[in-house]
Amino acid sequence: MRECVTALERASAACNALSCNLRMTNEGIPNLTAFDDAALDKAFGALARTARESAATLHSDAAVEAFRLEWLGRKQGRLNEVSDRWLKTAPPEARKAVGQRFKVLKELIEELLDGASGSAPSDGALAAEAIDITLPGTRRLTGAEHPITRTMNEIVAVFAALGYSVGVGPEVETDYYNFESMNFPAGHPARDTQDTLVIAGQDRKPLRDRLLLRTHTSPVQMRTMEQQPPPVRIVIPGKVHRNDAADATHSPIFHQVEGLCVDVNVTFNDLKGTLDHAMKALFGSSVKTRFFPSFFPFTEPSADVQISCIFCGGKGCRKCKDSGWIELLGCGMVDPAVFAFAAEKQPAYDPRKISGFAFGMGVERIAMMKYGISEIGSFYAGDMRFLGQFT
């Protein structure tokens, strides 16, 4: 009987020891028996080292969250245990020292937690960094010149190769430069063919000073002659405006390239040779040119230039109305009256000593021919499907 009691006592003692060990393992925070500075520094220092070692192993959001619960959990967190076991049980004279060290430990845990949260990649970040090699790559859109700009540059390049410089001028012009200096006096019937948009509120100004949107780039010819004595070889690209109804081949806004050549002994043969070379450079060496009498106020004599149809080779088709020829631009020898206007500021333009020729062509018309476009409005619609053909 005594042996049985002894065995039961040994078993009970083992159970108590096991229970005590389990309790200490779960709680993890031992009770303090001393509250002097050395003991407090040793106890809080051990917890700080443990926290740093644990924080160094955090590499995922799940590990960071487990670290937070381990130290800052409201019910089972280690700091909560430190508060219960050390701060609340400390003697009154030691509570200030324990509280100061507790605050420092808590701040350390929060700093470690913030640092771990910033360094541990989240699932969303990992997903964003992942590369799916089965997806097609991102293709950069290739930019290209607008067909009008491209055609204008091609025309300018042809004449630049012949030694012409490029001139530019304002789109808002005075009546003097747009009409009067180009031999369009007030009341001239030719003004009706270039009806334009006039800036409002200028009724009190003299007619020659009233502002309007230029109807051709010819004003730049006069401005150039006023500033530069002959010889002059200039090509002038730019936007112009006319009060035209929009249809398949007309627009109130379009682009021109005009040219001017002034020197001694410039003849109509020079004009024909220049334009014949330019048309061959633009449309191919097989293109032929021919000139028909015409009328322009600023040239005398004047001519319309036709080229052999580039679509049928001159045999006759729908594009050329079965004639084999397409009218493309106007030209002529500069009228002496125009030189007289230039001579008011630049006496070197004496029509008795110099001569010259001028020409002008519509950029849209040439672009429509080169690229087979039937509607001039396609250039201005901003349709990327249309413009994408020129990339």
Give helix 37-55 / helix 61-72 axis angle, nearest 10°.
160
* pLDDT per residue rounded down to tens, the chain (391 residues): 344 334 434 434 433 433 333 333 334 688 888 888 888 888 888 888 888 888 888 888 888 888 888 888 877 788 888 888 888 888 888 888 888 888 888 888 888 888 776 665 555 555 556 677 787 777 777 778 899 999 999 999 999 999 999 999 999 999 999 999 999 888 777 777 777 888 888 888 888 899 999 999 999 999 999 999 999 999 999 999 988 888 888 888 999 999 999 999 999 999 999 999 999 999 999 999 999 999 999 999 999 999 999 888 888 888 888 899 999 999 999 999 999 999 999 999 999 999 999 999 999 999 998 888 888 989 998 888 888 888 7
pLDDT tens string 205-260: 888 899 999 999 999 999 999 999 999 999 999 999 988 888 888 888 999 999 99
Could you give the count of Cα atoms lying within 13 Å of 233 in the half-sphere of its Cβ? Answer: 14
From the list 69, 47, 74, the residue with the least C-alpha distance to 58 is 69
Q: What is the maximum span of the chain, computed from C-alpha positions, in angstroms?
A: 153
CATH 3.30.930.10 fits 147-390, yes or no: yes
Rounded Cα–Cα distance for residues 8 and 369 (Å): 114
pLDDT tens string 142-166: 778 899 999 999 999 999 999 999 9
Both tokens of residue 103? 């605050």
Domain residue limits, the chain: 31-129, 147-390
Rounded Cα–Cα distance for residues 297 and 63 (Å): 89
Q: What are the CA-CA distances from residue 160 to residues 44, 157, 173, 300, 336 (Å)?
A: 86, 5, 26, 25, 26
Rounded Cα–Cα distance for residues 21 and 30 (Å): 12
- Kindly report whether the global pTM for this prediction surpasses the value 0.75: no
